[in-house]
Structure 1
């Protein structure tokens, strides 16, 4: 996993950019949390084209497991390309998540960065 430790407004965060699908397995969540602990930060900015199919298909349970792990340990902002055709249930989940303070999805990197640095 390629990552950088960044700092802005006095806050450190883990920045991960991927051309592959984001969050393909629970192990990805474990790896991200481990990197945060290793680098003494609780904030992550993920940038990619889209999520893995298993993540957006809620029946697989991957999104729930990953979000629970993230919610217990870190604050995550994700930026993905605008115009993704996600399943209806996933869109509903995103609408609910985007009102919380632990995990949000953005289509604009600047908005994601501003939120992660709050």
Structure 2
């Protein structure tokens, strides 16, 4: 689904873990003219939230290479409660303009409109 320049991924569907998964999302975003991709947190494999696996870094790097924003939508507190490194990365990412962790699509829309 495309919503105001954001490709919104459905919450049900295959879990995303591989670089190929990121490239598929990027291709879908380009095909629809999106500038951001909103990924429900539950679609991401748990490895995404374990920074030492490198999964998050690989996926986010692909989005950066193609100059697309990525928003992780939903509650990730079970992961941030368990990892101070992840918690710090989330805070730092939310200060930038490439990767955001947001509660819901409404927060994403507010952040995007504030940045324009």
Query: Shorter-chain TM-score: what band?
Result: 0.7 to 0.9
CA gap of 1:35–1:20, structure 2 versus 1, over 3 A, is closer
Alignment partner, residue 28 of structure 2: 35
- Give how far 1:93 is off: 0.9
Distance 1:91 1:68, change over 3 A: same
RMSD, aligned α-carbons: 2.2
Alignment partner of 1:106 is 2:99: no
Which residue number in structure 2 is paired with residue 84 of structure 1? 78
- Residues matched between the structures, number: 111
The TM-score, its normalising length taken from structure 2, stands at 0.79
Q: What are the ranges of 5 or more consecutive residues in structure 2 without an aligned counterpart?
A: none
Higher percent of residues as helix: 2
| 1:60 paired to 2:91 | no
Partner Cα distance (2:6, 2:43) in 1: 21
* TM-score scaled by length of structure 1: 0.78
Q: Distance in 2 between matches of 1:67 and 1:112?
A: 17
Deviation digits for residues 53-112 of structure 1, max 9, x if unmatched? Answer: 211111111111111111222012221126323322111111110100011001133111
Could you say which structure has the higher strand fraction?
Answer: 1
